[in-house]
Amino acid sequence: MKLILLFVATLIRSASAAEPTSAEILAQSAASDWRAPDPQRTLYLELASGRVVIELQPEFAPKHVANIAQLVRQKYFDGLAILRAQDNYVVQWGDPNGEKPEARPLGKAKRSLSPEFFRPSFAEVPFTALIDPDSYAPHVGFSLGMPAARDEHRTWLVHCYGMVGVGRDEAADSGGGTELYVVIGHAPRHLDRNVTLVGRVISGIERLSTLPRGSGDLGFYTDKEARPPVLRVRLAADVPPNERTALELLRTDTPTFARFVDARRQRREKWFVDPVGHVDVCNVPLPVRKRSP
């Protein structure tokens, strides 16, 4: 039995030796396999070290994305700070004064919204499913450029590295987007369907992941002086075109993407000596490349 299995494995390896690697698939991709992020739903988080670019995904969290855009247009985040950097978990920013009287006013934006932890049906949204098992969900895959999961009656975004979510307190409806966090460690999938995810970092995440970790519980900075400042947050649409970061994202609903995922599953690069044959939804990179402006 073992010999037969090995023989089959050898056959599969031989057959796939001629198949391209993920790098080769990207090199051979067509212009139509890529899309430019919509400047109306792209955020520039400006830190002392430079820019972090975030793509928002309103199809999964329309109220939260609209509220965040409202906060950004009001320059709500300008001059606020990164409040928390917890190793192997998240970096989070917002108003150091929280909801105190001296907190920054919210203007037309809301402090809290009803949760958008999932979409109630998956029929309406494109979903490129993985064939691999997942520890947390019956089905995982990609939807509208984001890692996602679904069961028989819900679809939700999942907490892979780089995903951006809405901080909240104990009440499910206590978040609204005034505090946002980014995953900087192993995917905390236990947060799925417990937090509203709004998008993902598509450039500059190393400016967040290398921040000094906070010394307090949950990585909060106990010393105010230690908090890295948030210089400003802007919608790309509100930045002059020549100051925008010109990026393109590989679409997740194309045959090219399906081949790319399979190449990540099989790992045909010569370096691999034991076939992998599986891939975790959070181990599929969602490629981003520079675009001529």
| Sites of contact with its own copies (CB under 8 A) | 2, 87-88, 115, 117, 132-136, 153, 160-162, 170, 172, 185-190, 192-194, 205-206, 209-213, 264, 267, 270-274, 276, 278-283
d(CA 11, CA 72): 55
Identify which of residues 39 and 275 has a Cβ nearer to its own copies in the complex: 275
Measured from the CB atom, is 212 or 241 closer to its own copies? 212
Minimum Å gap between C-beta 240 and its own copies is 28
Nearest to 47 by CA among 208, 160, 157: 208
Q: Write down the least CB distance from residue 30 to its own copies, Å.
A: 25
Backbone angles phi, psi at 241, to 5 degrees: -50, -35
Residue 13 one-letter amino acid: R
In the chain, the N- to C-terminal Cα span, in Å, equals 57
SS3 of 274, please? coil
**Following DSSP, what letter does each residue of 9-28 receive, concatenated?**
HHHHHHHHHTSPPHHHHHHT
| C-beta of residue 236 within 8 angstroms of C-beta of residue 74 | no
Q: How far is the CB of 254 from its own copies (least distance, A)?
A: 23
Q: What share of the chain is helix, strand, coil (3-state, %, to 5)?
A: 25, 25, 50
| Strand partners for 229 | 81
32 vs 271, beta carbon nearer its own copies: 271
How far apart are CB 171 and its own copies at their closest, in Å? 9
DSSP 236: G
Q: Which of 167, 184, 164, 202 is nearest to 52 (CA)?
A: 202
- Is the CB of 104 or the CB of 139 nearer to its own copies? 139
Nearer to its own copies, 68 or 286 (CB): 286
Smallest gap from Cβ 164 to its own copies, in A, equals 15
Torsion of Cα atoms, 138 then 141 then 142 then 143, to 10°: -30
CB nearer to its own copies: give 102 or 274. Answer: 274
In whole angstroms, the minimum distance from the beta carbon of 8 to its own copies comes to 15
